[in-house]
């Protein structure tokens, strides 16, 4: 179906970004151009507001540096010199180069690389999967975000939406655990605020002082990656002091007796030694959390970013059942309500098109994969990047730069902008923004589907990701009509419209309202597990995880995965503390003995590395900063605004020091998202980040990173 685009209109849209809030947007079109966007006031979660990233989305759309035409490299790799070519030439070149590579090295010499530049069902995570599965390319294992936490969560409570975030208004006690809500999940804040005004207590557990921690009644600052010790000590106290909801535990959990014996060693004193938080504070936290019902825990994605990050979530996921928090609206654990959406990932991803046994490379290992470091045949000869900017978001930046600079590597990048990664492309393909395409959005932070309608024609010769893969399929001669499905068909086929959660939702409703709440209980009565019914093998909360039985468990979702990210150590059936690998540990792994722990959390005005090149946001963020505690700064003769070099064995970058108590002693913070091309020493915090994966789900260990800092 082709729609005529109005010259003047307000079009119902949805934010495309990889963020829990998935805002419903009103896109104002005047004379055929977007002149402004605003949050949809009718949307119960967006509530009429957009954020520091997207409130002027038109500046992204009409930015003078938008990539608008296919281009071919005309200078050395990395310099960003390109000349315009036609789409026909670009596609023919790709076809030719790929066929030659397939003839000599086989299709696994081609590596796709993508993540969530846009999150839509049509153009997002899985858009290229059927094509690359059919091609027989190496499978790129995407464990960028929350796959460690998700694995742990599913092992414990199953793939349940758990809580409705809107039901937080009913909570009496809220713990935000490794979650910087005011920056990364801002539209959740009004619900927390309402709860607080109703008398709820807010605890934030974060090593860093942030805008969010400033709002807390209690801010606890554990050393990064020691959270499991804290959670296990809470369990210890709750059990030892008889604060368990016995009835709930007896009826809806398995493994309580084993857990009870297991946590004997996890005393508050033990946790105090590991986390640096006073034992009495830990006892009181456990008491208040248990007694103030309903109590809620919101975990951030950052919770998974250390060697034992998966086990942190295993321990935390046991807590709500222990105290019976699931009984009432406003109680339980809030992770990813994404599990509520009946998306037909199998249909989108088409694993059935892949040859069984196809090589898998984890995305965190791109630097090694391109430089022969994985020692696997055939070497990667072609890289195809879309929806991602690995040079800034992936670790091992130095090696990655070397790999991308390889003259014999044929790199294609589909982008909206000349990102750091794009500068290394042989061919650049222009991509549309959200106002130039249709898409359907699920959410990982609330329970509404949103429909995004194209508002204006595509700029220049930019095309959507879905169109890109239709064209590539034609070039490669794939005549299965599946590869030519229209956006509208993909959109309609991607949901299970017969699912109970979709009852009452139609395309027509989405088209007129822009969004629709899944057919689930209203927030006021949302207590899915008041009477158990967890989607685990036992139907209960598995404190002792049956899915750990084989010593290995891989999340069965849309995330392409393999077993290869497991580090070989068995997955313990009971939540078990695993100390950080590098940060703050005396017996750290060899080559990792640096005195300070570095974290690189999200920046308020950037969306991962997106918006790093937009003036409004770049001005707000300023230069790359490094927050450092006065004790650590003093010992190194560093004062605020001094330039410092942050280094470890993997690399170094330069930042402006900010001395203060935002950072706790022994911990430094380098917010992520700044672009390499705008950095001082051609490096960003990713240069220091380890490629070591966490204990579950191939999670990154970016909060488990030891460094040294010195004056430049």
Ligand X SMILES: Nc1nc2c(c(=O)[nH]1)N[C@H]1C(S)=C(S)[C@@H](COP(=O)(O)OP(=O)(O)OC[C@H]3O[C@@H](n4cnc5c(=O)[nH]c(N)nc54)[C@H](O)[C@@H]3O)O[C@H]1N2
Q: Which of the ranges 80-88, 137-145, 416-424, 569-577 carries the binding residues for Mo ion, by CB under 5 A?
A: 137-145
Residue 382 interacts, among Mo ion, ligand X, none and using kind-specific CB cut-offs from 5 to 8 Å, with: none
- Cα torsion 329, 334, 340, 341 to 10°: value is 130
Count of residues in contact with ligand X, rule CB under 6 A: 60
CB of 611 to ligand X, least distance (A): 8
Exactly one of 23, 102, 125, 179 binds ligand X (CB under 6 A); which one? 179
Considering the complex, state which of residue 423 and residue 602 has its C-beta at the smaller distance from ligand X: 602
Q: Which of the ranges 142-150, 305-313, 462-470, 599-607 carries the binding residues for Mo ion, by CB under 5 A?
A: 142-150
Q: Which of the ranges 71-79, 90-98, 177-185, 511-519 carries the binding residues for ligand X, by CB under 6 A?
A: 177-185
Helix residue ranges, H only, 57-120: 57-61, 87-105
Run of H or E residues at 233 = helix 227-240
CB–CB of 337/443 below 8 Å?
yes
Q: Which of the ranges 50-58, 126-134, 141-149, 363-371 carries the binding residues for Mo ion, by CB under 5 A?
A: 141-149
CB of 148 to ligand X, least distance (A): 11
Taking alpha carbons only, the member of 311, 299, 301, 277 closest to residue 174 is 299
CB of 249 to ligand X, least distance (A): 26
Exactly one of 22, 443, 617, 703 binds ligand X (CB under 6 A); which one? 703
Residues 555, 442: Cα–Cα separation, whole Å? 19
CB–CB of 533/248 below 8 Å?
no
How are the residues of the chain apportioned to helix, strand and coil, as percentages rounded to the nearest 5?
35, 20, 50
Q: Which of the ranges 286-294, 533-541, 567-575, 603-611 carries the binding residues for ligand X, by CB under 6 A?
A: 603-611
613 belongs to the binding site for ligand X (CB under 6 A): no
685 belongs to the binding site for ligand X (CB under 6 A): yes
For ligand X, what does the binding mask look like between residues 218 and 257, x meaning CB under 6 A?
Answer: ----x-xx-x------------------------------
Taking alpha carbons only, the member of 553, 540, 550, 534 closest to residue 159 is 534
The CB density around residue 500, as the number of other CB atoms within 10 Å, is 10
For Mo ion, what does the binding mask look like between residues 93 and 132, x meaning CB under 5 A?
Answer: ----------------------------------------
Considering the complex, state which of residue 548 and residue 664 has its C-beta at the smaller distance from ligand X: 664
Residue 134 pairs with which residues in a beta bridge?
Answer: none
Q: Which of the ranges 158-166, 302-310, 333-341, 626-634 carries the binding residues for ligand X, by CB under 6 A?
A: 302-310
624 belongs to the binding site for ligand X (CB under 6 A): no
207 belongs to the binding site for ligand X (CB under 6 A): yes
699 belongs to the binding site for Mo ion (CB under 5 A): no
CB–CB of 695/311 below 8 Å?
yes
Residues 185-204 that bind ligand X (CB under 6 A): none
Residues 119-138 that bind ligand X (CB under 6 A): 123
The CB density around residue 8, as the number of other CB atoms within 10 Å, is 11
251 is written with which tokens?
């009826």
**253 phi, psi to nearest 5 deg:** -135, 160
Residues 484, 145: Cα–Cα separation, whole Å? 30
Residue of this chain nearest to ligand X (CB atom): 117
Which residues, at least 6 apart from 273, have a Cβ–Cβ distance to it below 8 Å? none
Residues 390-409 that bind ligand X (CB under 6 A): 392-393
Q: What are the b/e assignments for 272-284, b being 16+ CB within 10 Å? A: bebbbbebeebbe
CB of 145 to Mo ion, least distance (A): 3
Residues 514, 452: Cα–Cα separation, whole Å? 7
CB–CB of 373/383 below 8 Å?
no
145 belongs to the binding site for Mo ion (CB under 5 A): yes
| Sign of the torsion formed by the C-alpha atoms of 445, 151, 581 and 260 | positive
19 belongs to the binding site for ligand X (CB under 6 A): yes
DSSP 343: B
608 is written with which tokens?
């991962």
Exactly one of 22, 151, 267, 608 binds ligand X (CB under 6 A); which one? 608
Q: Which residues bind ligand X (CB under 6 A)?
A: 18-19, 115-118, 123, 144-145, 177-180, 183-184, 205-208, 210, 222, 224-225, 227, 300-302, 305-306, 386-389, 392-393, 414-417, 419, 431, 465, 599-604, 606-610, 672-673, 685-686, 689, 702-703
Q: Which residues bind Mo ion (CB under 5 A)?
A: 145
């Amino acid at each position: 179906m082709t729609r005529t685009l109005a010259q003047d209109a307000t079009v119902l849209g949805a934010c495309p970004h990889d963020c829990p809030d998935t805002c419903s947007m009103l896109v104002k079109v005047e004379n055929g151009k977007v002149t402004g966007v605003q949050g949809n006031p009718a949307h119960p979660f967006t509530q009429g507001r957009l954020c520091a990233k997207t409130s002027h989305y038109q500046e992204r759309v009409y930015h003078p540096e938008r990539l608008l035409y296919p281009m071919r490299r005309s200078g050395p790799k990395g310099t960003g010199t390109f000349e315009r070519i036609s789409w026909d030439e670009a596609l023919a070149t790709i076809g030719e180069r790929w066929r030659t590579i397939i003839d000599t090295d086989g299709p696994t010499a081609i590596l796709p690389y993508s993540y969530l530049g846009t999150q839509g069902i049509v153009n997002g995570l899985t858009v290229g999967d059927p094509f690359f599965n059919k091609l027989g390319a190496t499978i790129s294992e995407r464990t960028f975000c929350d796959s460690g936490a998700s694995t742990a969560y599913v092992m414990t409570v199953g793939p349940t939406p758990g809580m409705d975030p809107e039901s937080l208004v009913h909570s009496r006690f809220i713990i935000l655990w490794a979650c910087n809500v005011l920056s990364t999940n801002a539209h959740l804040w009004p619900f927390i605020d309402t709860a607080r005004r109703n008398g709820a207590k807010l605890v934030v557990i974060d090593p860093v002082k942030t805008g969010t921690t400033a709002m807390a009644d209690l801010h606890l600052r554990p050393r990064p990656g020691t959270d499991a010790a804290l959670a296990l000590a809470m369990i210890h106290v709750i059990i030892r002091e008889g604060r368990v909801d016995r009835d709930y535990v007896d009826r809806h959990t398995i493994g309580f007796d084993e857990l009870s014996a297991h946590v004997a060693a996890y005393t508050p004193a033990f946790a105090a030694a590991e986390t640096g938080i006073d034992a009495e504070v830990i006892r009181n936290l456990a008491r208040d959390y248990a007694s103030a019902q309903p109590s809620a825990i919101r975990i951030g994605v950052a919770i998974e970013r250390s060697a034992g990050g998966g086990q942190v979530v295993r321990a935390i996921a046991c807590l709500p059942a222990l105290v019976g928090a699931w009984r009432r609206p406003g109680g339980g654990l809030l992770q990813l309500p994404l599990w509520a959406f009946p998306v037909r990932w199998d249909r989108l991803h088409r694993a059935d098109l892949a040859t069984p046994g196809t090589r898998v490379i984890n995305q965190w290992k791109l630097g090694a994969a391109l430089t022969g470091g994985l020692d696997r045949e055939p070497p990667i000869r072609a890289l195809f990047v879309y929806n991602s900017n690995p040079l800034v978001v992936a670790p091992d930046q130095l090696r990655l730069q070397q790999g991308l600079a390889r003259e014999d590597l044929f790199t294609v990048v589909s982008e909206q902008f000349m990102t750091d990664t794009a500068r290394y492309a042989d061919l650049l393909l222009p991509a549309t923004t959200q106002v130039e395409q249709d898409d359907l959005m699920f959410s990982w932070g609330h329970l509404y589907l949103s429909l995004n309608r194209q508002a204006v024609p595509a700029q220049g010769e930019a095309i959507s990701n879905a169109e890109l893969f239709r064209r590539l399929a034609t070039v490669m001669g794939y005549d299965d009509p599946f590869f030519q499905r229209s956006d509208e068909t993909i959109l309609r086929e991607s949901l299970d419209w017969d699912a109970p959660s979709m009852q009452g939702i139609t395309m027509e409703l989405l088209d007129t309202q822009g969004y629709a709440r899944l057919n689930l209980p209203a927030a006021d009565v949302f207590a899915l597990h008041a009477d158990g019914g967890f989607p685990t093998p036992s139907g209960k909360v598995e404190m002792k995880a049956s899915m750990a039985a084989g010593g290995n468990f891989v999340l069965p979702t849309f995330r392409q995965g393999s077993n290869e990210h497991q580090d070989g150590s068995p997955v313990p059936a009971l939540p078990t503390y695993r100390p950080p690998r590098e940060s703050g540990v005396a017996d750290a792994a060899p080559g990792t003995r640096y005195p300070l722990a570095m974290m690189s959390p999200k920046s308020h005005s950037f969306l991962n590395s997106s918006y790093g090149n937009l003036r409004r946001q770049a001005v707000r963020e300023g230069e790359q900063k490094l927050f450092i505690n006065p004790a650590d700064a003093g010992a190194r003769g560093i004062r605020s605004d001094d330039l410092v070099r942050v280094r470890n064995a993997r690399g170094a970058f330069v930042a402006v020091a900010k001395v203060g108590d935002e950072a706790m002693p022994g911990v430094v913070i380098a917010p992520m998202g700044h672009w390499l091309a705008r950095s001082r020493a051609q490096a960003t915090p990713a240069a220091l980040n380890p490629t070591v994966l966490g204990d579950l789900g191939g999670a990154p260990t970016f909060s488990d990173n030891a460094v040294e800092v010195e004056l430049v």
